Amino acid sequence: MSQAHERPTLEAVARLAGVSRATVSRVVNGSPKVAEPIRSAVRRAVEELGYIPNAAARSLVTQRTDSIALVLPESASRVFSDDPFFPSIIHGVSQELDAADKQLVLMMTNTVAGYERVERYTTARHVDGVLFASTHGVDPLPGQLARLGVPVVVTGRPLGRSAVPYVDVDHVGGVRAAVRHLLETGHSRIATIAGPQDMVAGIDRLAGYRAELHGSDRRSIVAVGDFTRESGATAMRQLLEDDPQLDAVFVASDLMAHGAITTLRELGRRIPEDVAVVGFDDFDISRYTDPPLTTVRQPILELGRELARQLLRVIAGDEVPPAVVLPTELVVRASA
C-alpha cells in the first residue's frame, strides 16, 4: 500500500489560514456568518492544500452519510439480462442523486445472504435513505425500515397495506387504452399474456385488461408468463391452443411480446393481419421488431428520477404524497 501524500485535515487548513477549525468548518459548509476577508483567506488555504473533507469524520458527527441505497430485489438474472427496466431505473435515480450530490449505493438481494446484508446495512443507518425497486410479493423490509425511521420509497404500489410512499405508473390506464385500441380496430377475440401474479405490475395489467373487456361481449382469454421472452413464447402457444381463432393479444411486457411474435411467426400467423399484438413497456428494441411493436409506453427513466426525488424530500423532512402515479401512453406502430 503506497502511503502517498497524507491528506490535509481541517486543522492544517486552519493553521495555514490563521484561524480556528470552527471557522474553517463554517466556510467549508457555507455558513453565512463569516466575514468576507476571513472567508477568502480560508478559501485560499483550502485551495492551496487541496483540502477535501473527510466523509467518515463528518458522518460521525452529523449522522448523515450523504448516500442512498438502491435495492434491486429481483433475481439477478432477470435484473441484468436484456431487460432494460432496471438499468433505466438506476439511470434515473443516478441522475437525481448526482444533482443532489448524494452517492448511490447499489445492492442486490438475489440471495438470502444478500437480503440479510441489505437488512443489516440499511437498518444500521449506513445510508440516509433506501429505495426499493420492483418488490416481488410482500417484502417486509421496506415497512420495517420505515418503522425504524429510515426514509424509504418504493416503486410499485405495495401489495398489502403499507405506509411506505411509492411511485408507480398508470398500469390500468395504459392497458385499457391498449385494449380499447384493439376493440376499436375491430378485433373480437382479444387474449392476454399476463405477468406474474405476485407482482403489482402483473396484477394491475391483468386487471386493466379485464376492466376494459368487461361490458363488451368479448370473453377474456388469459395465459400467464413471468415477463421473460421465453415465457411469452410459451404462453402464446398455449393461448392459440385454447382459442385458435383469437385475432389479437395484449401482452403485459415487451419482452414477452417479442416471444409471442416469435411463436406467431413460427405458426405462420401474420401480424397484425391474423393476430394483432400490443406490448407494454416501450423498450427501445421494440421499435426494431418485425413488425415494429405497438405498445404502452411507461416512463421508466422518469420513474427512477421521481423515486429519487421523493426520497430526497422525505430525507429533507418534507411532506410527501403517499403515492405518485406517472402516466402511460399507447404508442401505435405496425403490430396492431
298 lines the binding site for DNA (CB under 7 A): no
Chain centroid to CA 210: how far? Answer: 26
Total of residues contacting DNA (CB under 7 A):
26
Stretch of 17-25, 109-117, 295-303, 323-331 lying at the interface with DNA (CB under 7 A)? 17-25
What minimum distance in Å lies between the beta carbon of 108 and a second copy?
6
x/- string (CB under 8 A) for a second copy, residues 163-202? Answer: ----------------------------------------
In DSSP notation, 90-124 reads: HHHHHHHHHHTT-EEEEEE-SSHHHHHHHHHHHHT
Q: Which one of a second copy, DNA, none interacts with residue 331, CB within 5 to 8 A by kind? A: none
In DSSP notation, 5-33 reads: SPPP-HHHHHHHHTS-HHHHHHHHTT-S-
49 lines the binding site for DNA (CB under 7 A): no
Chain centroid to CA 173: how far? Answer: 19
Amino acid at the residue 141: L
With respect to a second copy, which residue has the nearer C-beta, 65 or 135?
65
**How many residues does the structure list for the chain?**
336
In sequence order, the 6+-apart residues with CB closer than 8 A to the CB of 32 are: none
124 lines the binding site for a second copy (CB under 8 A): yes
19 lines the binding site for DNA (CB under 7 A): yes
Per the structure block, which three cell numbers stand in for 187? 378485433
- 255: alpha, beta or left? (left if phi > 0; alpha if psi -120 to 50): alpha
Among residues 13, 46, 84, 205, which is the contact residue for a second copy, using CB under 8 A?
Answer: 84
| Cα–Cα distance for residue pair 324/176, rounded to 1 Å | 19
The count of C-alpha atoms lying within 13 angstroms of the C-alpha of 264, restricted to the half-sphere facing its C-beta, is: 27
40 lines the binding site for DNA (CB under 7 A): no
Chain centroid to CA 237: how far? Answer: 31
| Cα–Cα distance for residue pair 95/89, rounded to 1 Å | 10
Stretch of 34-42, 55-63, 161-169, 243-251 lying at the interface with a second copy (CB under 8 A)? 55-63
Stretch of 79-87, 134-142, 153-161, 239-247 lying at the interface with a second copy (CB under 8 A)? 79-87
Among residues 22, 138, 148, 267, which is the contact residue for a second copy, using CB under 8 A?
Answer: 148
- 6: alpha, beta or left? (left if phi > 0; alpha if psi -120 to 50): beta
Among residues 5, 33, 161, 214, which is the contact residue for a second copy, using CB under 8 A?
Answer: 5
With respect to DNA, which residue has the nearer C-beta, 11 or 290?
11
What minimum distance in Å lies between the beta carbon of 103 and a second copy?
5
With respect to a second copy, which residue has the nearer C-beta, 25 or 183?
25
Residues from 219 through 258 that contact a second copy (CB under 8 A) = 229, 258
Strand partners, 190: 248
Q: Which one of DNA, a second copy, none interacts with residue 38, CB within 5 to 8 A by kind? A: DNA
Per the structure block, which three cell numbers stand in for 267? 405458426
Among residues 43, 49, 53, 125, which is the contact residue for DNA, using CB under 7 A?
Answer: 53
Closest CA to 94 of 131, 134, 137, 135: 131
Among residues 14, 17, 108, 182, which is the contact residue for a second copy, using CB under 8 A?
Answer: 108
Radius of gyration of the chain (CA): 26
88 lines the binding site for a second copy (CB under 8 A): yes
What minimum distance in Å lies between the beta carbon of 69 and a second copy?
9
Stretch of 26-34, 112-120, 166-174, 193-201 lying at the interface with a second copy (CB under 8 A)? 112-120
Peptide bond into 87 cis (omega under 30): no
Q: Binding residues for DNA, per CB under 7 A?
A: 7, 9-11, 18-23, 25-26, 28-29, 33-35, 38, 51, 53-54, 57-58, 60-62
